[in-house]
Chains A and B, each alone.
Chain A
Amino acid sequence: MCLGIPAQIKEIVDVDNQIAMVDLSGVSREVNIACVLDDTYQSEDLINKWVLVHVGFALSVVDEDEAHKTLKILDEIGELSATMDDLDQGSK
């Protein structure tokens, strides 16, 4: 029910009615962008941005930096594990 899918905004179709065309897993679809317009983003600023789409509405802009940070943490967890394993191996 709360399912959301990341999609990339391709063009602004209707500025007054806040409608944009997005690429949603290869499918073009119109979505409402009222919830992602604010002081930071006017409609034209949104082109090529990734948004989370839920029932035809873009609900939030994906923060690319934060996504990279999360992936980096995940990498580091792995590295830590690998180092510990090496130490374990080394001590045997």
Chain B
Amino acid sequence: MKYVDEFRDPDKAKKLLKEIDKLCSEITLPEDRPIQIMEVCGGHTHSIFRYGLKQLLPDNLEFVHGPGCPVCVLPRSVVDNCIRIAEHDDVIFTTFGDAMRVPGSTKSLLDVKAEGGDIRMVYSPLDALTIAQKNPDKRVVFFGLGFETTMPSTALSIMQAKKQGIDNFYLFCNHITIIPTIKAVLDSPGMRIDGFLGPGHVSLIIGTQPYRFIADDYHKPLVAAGFEPLDILQSVWMVLKQLKNGEAKIENQYSRLVHEEGNASALSPIQEVFELREFFEWRGLGSINHSGVKVNDKYRAFDAEVEFDLKEVTVTDPDVCQCGEVLKGVLKPWQCKVFGKECTPEKPLGALMVSTEGACSAQYSYAQNIDLINKK
């Protein structure tokens, strides 16, 4: 077993779709509105579009694309601060490729690279650490972003830098946390989501216990879901079964990787290196309390926020940008005024058009034509 192809079997998918069809016809909601399931994670959004799952599901079932694309929720001010750091002559700025094209208030990291800035795309924070070792006369900054899935990798890289006495490596920490984010979605006015697909790879770090409040306090089902087409369809089926039976439970479809209690070996470096921020500013969602982490005092020597003079200025998105409404599920990507016109993956205005996990970019790349037909 290679844990990929087995979960892409079209025959099994067809049978699941039949069951999903049946369940959807048996669930009736007030005001005759469609059943709305939010996939929290951008990875799920990408899979849903890539495999055309949306087109296979009944008309009265809608996916609402959630806030789980860390690149998409990056505020412009953070990109501006990246650029401020990268413009120092003695800095090598390292980042995952996803963040290169996110627009800041005047330009992106890619623009700065084109102007001659030493900005390098890396696959892993450990690659950034190697660059630091090889360039002792430079300050090497790694742009840390992502949810809990990515936190252990940056935390362990910093711990390794400390252990090896590497003193020219810094983390510009913009990691965000999933629980306050889901809570903010649940508390937002007009929220109509009936159930959630839980982010599988965040869940393998934090476990499924932290989601309990969603069932207990908000009475919504959540199923921690894998990323292959059958994983997603099975998870949808599990959410629908709960809705049909009037239940709200936290379930785990991705049990080959996710355990209820999470992964202690991955949580421990997170606790060692990071502490919660009082709040974090999200693009489109505004400020959410305790939704981000920063480097703690013990590791302050590796904190780019301590090393560099950064500004905390809130930079608003262009007026025409409706990323916020799309993120909250109020608008569909194609309902945004600039979707596919001024804003395209080649020239994104809003962050949702940047990453392949962004709702707008995924829609543009995989499903634009189908939805334009649906719109008519």
Contacts and interface: CB of A to CB of B under 8 A. Distances in A.
Interface of A: 1-4, 6, 17, 32, 34-38, 50, 52, 54-57, 59-60, 62-64, 66-71, 73-75, 77-78, 80-82
Contacts of A73: 234
Contact of B265 (A35, A66, A75): A35
11 contacts: A1-B146, A1-B355, A2-B43, A2-B147, A3-B227, A38-B264, A50-B3, A54-B149, A55-B96, A74-B230, A77-B12
B174 to A, nearest CB: 12
A64 B71 CA distance: 33
A78 B201 contact: no
Contacts of A80: 19
B150 A55 contact: yes
A2 B149 contact: yes
B255 A2 contact: no
B179 interface: no
A81 B21 CA distance: 12
B12 A59 contact: no
B18 interface: yes
A54 B123 contact: no
B256 A70 contact: yes
B10 to A, nearest CB: 12
Given A38-B265, A81-B19, A55 B41 contact: no
B16 A1 contact: no
A34 B263 CA distance: 11
Given A2-B41, A32-B156, 14 more contacts: A1-B357, A4-B201, A4-B227, A38-B265, A55-B153, A56-B124, A56-B126, A57-B153, A62-B3, A63-B255, A66-B255, A74-B230, A77-B15, A77-B19
Contacts of B256: 62-64, 66-67, 70
A60 B150 contact: no
Contacts of B145: 1
Contacts of A57: 124, 152-153, 156
Interface string B223-263: 00001001000100100000000000000010111100001
Contacts of A59: 149, 152, 201, 204-205, 263, 266
B77 to A, nearest CB: 20
Contacts of B19: 77, 80-81
Interface string B118-131: 00000111110000
A68 B156 CA distance: 32
A64 B264 CA distance: 20
A69 B255 contact: yes
A63 B254 CA distance: 10
Contacts of A75: 12
A81 B18 contact: yes
Nearest to A17: B160
A63 B226 CA distance: 13
Given A54-B150, A71-B6, A63 B257 contact: yes
B373 interface: no
B11 A78 contact: yes
Contact of B2 (A4, A6, A66): A6
